[in-house]
Amino acid sequence: MTDTQWETYEVFHQTKKGDPHIYVGSVHAPDPQMALQLARDQFARRLKCVSLWVARSKDITATDYQDEDFFAQVTDKSYRDPKAFEAPDKESPDEH
Amino acid sequence: MSIELPASVPHDPLLRFILALADDELMLGHRDSEWTGHAPILEEDIAFSNIAQDELGHSLVWYTLYEQLTGKSPDAMAFVLAWNDFTCCHFVTYPKGDFGYTVIRQYLFDEAEQARLTALGESSVQQLKEIARKLIREEAYHLLHSKGLVERLGDATVESHQRTQAAVDEAFPQALGMFEKLEGEDELVRAGVFPGNEVLKAEWLKRVVPVLTSATLTVPVAGQDGSYTTSAKSDEGGRRKSHTEHLRQLVDDLQAVYRMAPNAKW
């Protein structure tokens, strides 16, 4: 039997103009336009939304969970961490 | 809050007009809600549940206007009225059928809403004008959804074509019943309330025929370039409260919970 499932699209949601689009989930759809419409019903109905992105799931190139070495830290790299100075607070830039 | 109408607007025909709008939205909203948990894919299940709630919300808007004019509450209209006192068209009362029928019905209804609300946006009655201009924003997205499905299902596969065509054959004459002439309609037209159902029907045909045709679906119409006539026999009677068993069953479902405890406070 042929697979009649529609393709999946990954959905990214933006709450406010200028904010990052945040990944919220996926939808089945026959094409990108319908994916946007269905994403609107699934994800933009209760959340405040100003913009949605959809991308075909198969167009996303991802790392493999099995390939743990891809992210491995085999030597001590703590010297790279910015621990020696205080970063100014992003939320209140005037307090320092 | 109660409101006054201009003396030039015929009162009873206007009330009938508002109730017909409200009843159509209520019944179609109920039929759409029957897909909750049953639609062929999860995304459409949620989309149709969403549309169902929107349609019920629109019926509440019209019933609320009716309340402002008559003092009768939306609950009294939706949950207490006898099934054969509603004035919805037959079209919105028929069982949901298969998904093909539902999609075609929703599409034909959404286009009628566009034609009607666009016209009401210019109504001589301020309240109708304001409501129409608000609701059309939401209805535009219902249309985008149903039209999108029609365009895609019409010529996707042999089965999808057959099923959407069967749905058009069944739904088209029923849909014409949306434009059944109301008692006192001519007075409403003269008072500039709306342009009349014949005008809305012509506008509706102008919208639906090219879309259905380009989706490879056959429609029982003659004419071209936006001017069409149809040989299909319009399924009427609903506006005169002459209904089928399908509405009795629908209203039994719709009012079942309310009837268990009519005076309950929710």
DSSP state of B196: -
- Give the one of A31, A37, A42 whose C-beta lies nearest to B145's C-beta: A37
The string of pLDDT tens digits covering residues B70-99 is 999 999 999 999 999 999 999 999 999 999
Q: How far does the CA of residue A92 sit from the closest CA of chain B (Å)?
A: 39
Mean pLDDT of B52-60: 96
- On whether any CB of chain B is under 8 Å from the CB of A56, the answer is no
* Residues in chain B within 8 Å Cβ distance of A6: 41
DSSP letters for A17-42: TTSPPEEEEEEEESSHHHHHHHHHHH
- Give the one of A34, A41, A45 whose C-beta lies nearest to B148's C-beta: A34
Instruction: Pick the closest to residue A11 from B149, B37, A41 (CA basis).
Output: A41
Q: According to the model, what pLDDT value does residue A94 have?
A: 53
- On whether any CB of chain A is under 8 Å from the CB of B41, the answer is yes
Are B144 and A34 an interchain contact pair (Cβ–Cβ within 8 Å)? no
Q: Report the chain A residue with the minimal C-alpha distance to residue B43.
A: A38
Whole-angstrom CA distances from B151 to A85, B109, B139, B145, B241 are 60, 16, 18, 10, 34
DSSP state of A88: P
d(CA B161, CA B168): 10
Instruction: Provide the pLDDT confidence category of residue A95 given band limits of 50, 70 and 90.
Output: very low
Q: According to the model, what pLDDT value does residue B240 have?
A: 97
Q: According to the model, what pLDDT value does residue A92 have?
A: 56
* pLDDT mean across residues, chain B: 95
The string of pLDDT tens digits covering residues B195-204 is 999 999 999 9
The string of pLDDT tens digits covering residues A57-79 is 999 999 999 998 898 888 888 88
Are A37 and B47 an interchain contact pair (Cβ–Cβ within 8 Å)? yes
Q: According to the model, what pLDDT value does residue B160 have?
A: 94
Which alpha helices (DSSP H) does A1-96 contain, by range?
32-43
The string of pLDDT tens digits covering residues B122-135 is 999 999 999 999 99
- On whether any CB of chain B is under 8 Å from the CB of A40, the answer is yes
Are B47 and A41 an interchain contact pair (Cβ–Cβ within 8 Å)? yes
Q: How far does the CA of residue B202 sit from the closest CA of chain A (Å)?
A: 29
Are B43 and A42 an interchain contact pair (Cβ–Cβ within 8 Å)? yes
Instruction: Provide the pLDDT confidence category of residue A81 given band limits of 50, 70 and 90.
Output: confident
The string of pLDDT tens digits covering residues B210-236 is 999 999 999 999 988 889 999 899 999
The string of pLDDT tens digits covering residues A2-57 is 667 889 999 999 999 999 999 999 999 999 999 999 999 999 988 899 999 999 99
pTM: 0.89
Tell me which amino acid residue B228 is: Y
pLDDT over 80 (residue B2): no
pLDDT over 60 (residue A93): no
- Measure CA of the first residue to CA of the last residue in chain B; give whole Å: 22
Instruction: Pick the closest to residue B93 from B174, B34, B21, B27 (CA basis).
Output: B27
* Residues in chain A within 8 Å Cβ distance of B141: 37, 40
d(CA B75, CA B97): 28
Q: How many cross-chain Cβ pairs, A to B, lie less than 8 Å apart?
A: 30
Instruction: Pick the closest to residue B229 from B197, B266, B204 (CA basis).
Output: B204
- Give the one of A30, A31, A38 whose C-beta lies nearest to B47's C-beta: A38
Are B145 and A27 an interchain contact pair (Cβ–Cβ within 8 Å)? no
The string of pLDDT tens digits covering residues B144-184 is 999 999 999 999 999 999 999 999 999 999 999 999 999 99
Instruction: Pick the closest to residue B102 from B158, B43, B51 (CA basis).
Output: B51
